[in-house]
Amino acid sequence: MKNCVEVQDKLHEECGVFGIYSMSGESVSKDIYYGLEALQHRGQEAAGMALSDFKGGMYNMAIKKDIGLVSEVFHEDDLEHLKGNIGVGHVRYSTTGESNAHNAQPIGMNYIKGTLAVVHNGNIVNTDALKVEQMKRGSAHYTTSDTEVIAYEIIKERVNSKDIEEATVKACKKLRGGYALLVKSPRKLIGARDPLGIKPLILGKRDDTYILASESAAVKAVGGEIVRDIEPGEIVTITKDGIETVSRLQSSTKAHCIFEYIYFARNDSVMDGISVNDARVSAGEALAKVKKVDADIVVGVPDSGLAAAWGYSKESNIPFAMAFYKNSYIGRSFIKPTQNERQMAVQMKLSVLENVVRDKNIVLIDDSIVRGTTMRKLVDMLKAAGAKEVHVRISSPPFLYPCFYGTDVPTAGQLIASEHSTEEVRENIGADSLEYLRVEDFKAMVGDLPLCTACFTNDYPIK
């Protein structure tokens, strides 16, 4: 079992999804491979793909999924064996301590109408209620994932529906929560996004091939062009006749997840029309206005704090500097760290360029503070390297409330901000000052885009 030396002081999301339909019938397994690699940052615990193959007059489903990175799960001969022109893929981050191959996606099954494969990013808050109903009807569950619950809703509705699209629409109407959902039937690829638009889903195209993915970067990675975001509540189907919107689930509000812009998404992705990088730069600019500080350089924590640091520098006219080296080989290791080594882990991953920071007053930017251990170590390292003052600026507000839509926020007791005042946190991390981005400055990040900010404000979009 692999043990991770990496700094476990970041929030995590649970998944990335990728679906593709080649209308000219070309094999898509390599595209899914590259698409999932482009989404690897969204989940490193498990990966999988399922494809439809038409062979001997029958539609067959090929599926492979396992624990590990995309490059570990799929070898070259796998991609040759995984045949088909329609497919869905998934990368997963596990919220549980122990890895579990059973919970890897896609969920692939046979039911009365043929085969079905489902992948899903998000969290369905009424999973337990739906699952009990399903069990009462006699369902058997092989996993603990809510994706299986979604799949069961779809096959239940399929019986009284004219097609798989109608069944998916009926199923989605029962789901409460945030989701980006892909459904592969033998001859169709369906995509659905929750009515609030909490989870992202984007449509791309490459010649006669359609792509649905969690992020625009995955579309680009396979040589595709962005067509548009799937709208909140929209359900689309891709068939041999092209793409069609089959339903638009209504919702009085929209509430895109703020975390995607803060740090889930790749910096080069564009979500709901907003460039993630621009949002982060804007957050840095807004942060520069929060409280002026007299400093020599602005330093971002790689890689998550770099964009905001650049924005802060631009707004404040304090020079931007790169003060850390990041060792990209560290992170996945078989060596179990002792407590002392765990404290050294930050230091092995990141090291300070002493000449850059010596005798300097520094503004240090990161996107969040979760437990505070990483930031404390970084401030220590900067001071040990000769920095005079370290002013920490966080490009998001303090996390205070749990997320019910798929983000793995630690329990309140583990969130330093939920138990301590800002001044206490500042003292704990050893900073000379500490400021967070204010909730009201969010609009600087994403303009008028409606956001879910429940984890900062306790104001949940779904009651």
- 211 close to 228: Cβ distance less than 8 angstroms: no
Chosen residue from 30, 174, 205, 420 binding its own copies by CB under 8 A: 30
The helix (H) or strand (E) run that includes residue 277 is helix 276-290
Task: Report the residue number, 246 or 353, with the smaller CB distance to its own copies.
Answer: 353
135 binds its own copies (CB under 8 A): yes
Give the active site residues.
15
Q: Binders of its own copies among 353-372, rule CB under 8 A?
A: 353-356
Task: Report the residue number, 50 or 416, with the smaller CB distance to its own copies.
Answer: 50
In the block, residue with structure tokens 């509540």? 233
* Residues facing residue 434 across a β-bridge: 392
Chosen residue from 10, 27, 34, 290 binding its own copies by CB under 8 A: 34
Binding segment (CB under 8 A) for its own copies, from list 30-38, 201-209, 228-236, 387-395? 30-38
**CA distance to 38, 218, 252, 400, per residue, from 393 (Å):** 29, 31, 35, 17
Minimal distance, residue 242 CB to its own copies, in Å: 26
Minimal distance, residue 311 CB to its own copies, in Å: 11
The per-residue DSSP string of 338-381 comes to: PHHHHHHHHHHHEEE-HHHHTT-EEEEEES--SSSHHHHHHHHH
Strand blocks (E) in 7-113: 12-13, 15-22, 46-55, 58-67, 86-92, 107-111
Minimal distance, residue 418 CB to its own copies, in Å: 26
291 binds its own copies (CB under 8 A): no
Tokens of 194: 């929750």
159 binds its own copies (CB under 8 A): yes
Number of residues interacting with its own copies: please give it, by CB under 8 A: 80
* Residues facing residue 178 across a β-bridge: 123
Binding segment (CB under 8 A) for its own copies, from list 194-202, 333-341, 419-427, 450-458? 333-341
Q: Binders of its own copies among 68-107, rule CB under 8 A?
A: 69-71, 74-76, 79, 102
Among 373, 362, 287, residue whose Cα is nearest residue 319:
362
CB atoms within 10 A of CB 231: 17
Exposure string for 183-207, b = 16+ CB within 10 A, e = fewer: bbbbbbbbbbbbbbbbbbbbbbeee
The per-residue DSSP string of 313-335 comes to: HHHH-PPEE--EEE-TT-S-BSP
127 binds its own copies (CB under 8 A): no
Minimal distance, residue 113 CB to its own copies, in Å: 8
Binding segment (CB under 8 A) for its own copies, from list 119-127, 168-176, 205-213, 219-227? 219-227
What is the rounded CA–CA span in Å between residue 29 and residue 24?
A: 14
Minimal distance, residue 225 CB to its own copies, in Å: 11
Q: Binders of its own copies among 334-353, rule CB under 8 A?
A: 334-336, 341, 344, 347-348, 351-353
CB atoms within 10 A of CB 62: 19
108 binds its own copies (CB under 8 A): yes
Minimal distance, residue 218 CB to its own copies, in Å: 10
Chosen residue from 11, 16, 41, 441 binding its own copies by CB under 8 A: 41
Q: Binders of its own copies among 418-447, rule CB under 8 A?
A: none
151 binds its own copies (CB under 8 A): yes
Task: Report the residue number, 244 or 341, with the smaller CB distance to its own copies.
Answer: 341
Among 90, 438, 396, 442, residue whose Cα is nearest residue 255:
442
Q: Binders of its own copies among 220-279, rule CB under 8 A?
A: 220-221, 223, 266-268, 270, 275, 277-278
Minimal distance, residue 460 CB to its own copies, in Å: 29
Q: Binders of its own copies among 51-70, rule CB under 8 A?
A: 63, 69-70
Minimal distance, residue 40 CB to its own copies, in Å: 4
207 binds its own copies (CB under 8 A): no
What is the rounded CA–CA span in Å between residue 216 and residue 228?
A: 9
Q: Binders of its own copies among 383-422, rule CB under 8 A?
A: none
Minimal distance, residue 303 CB to its own copies, in Å: 8
Handedness of CA 194, 199, 205, 208 (dihedral sign): negative
Exposure string for 398-410, b = 16+ CB within 10 A, e = fewer: bbbbbbbbbbbbb
Task: Report the residue number, 163 or 303, with the smaller CB distance to its own copies.
Answer: 303
Is 390 in a helix, a strand, or coil?
strand
Contact flags string 309-328 toward its own copies, x per CB under 8 A = -x---x----xxxx--xxxx
Binding segment (CB under 8 A) for its own copies, from list 148-156, 180-188, 242-250, 288-296? 148-156
Task: Report the residue number, 297 or 425, with the smaller CB distance to its own copies.
Answer: 297
What is the rounded CA–CA span in Å between residue 299 and residue 376?
A: 15
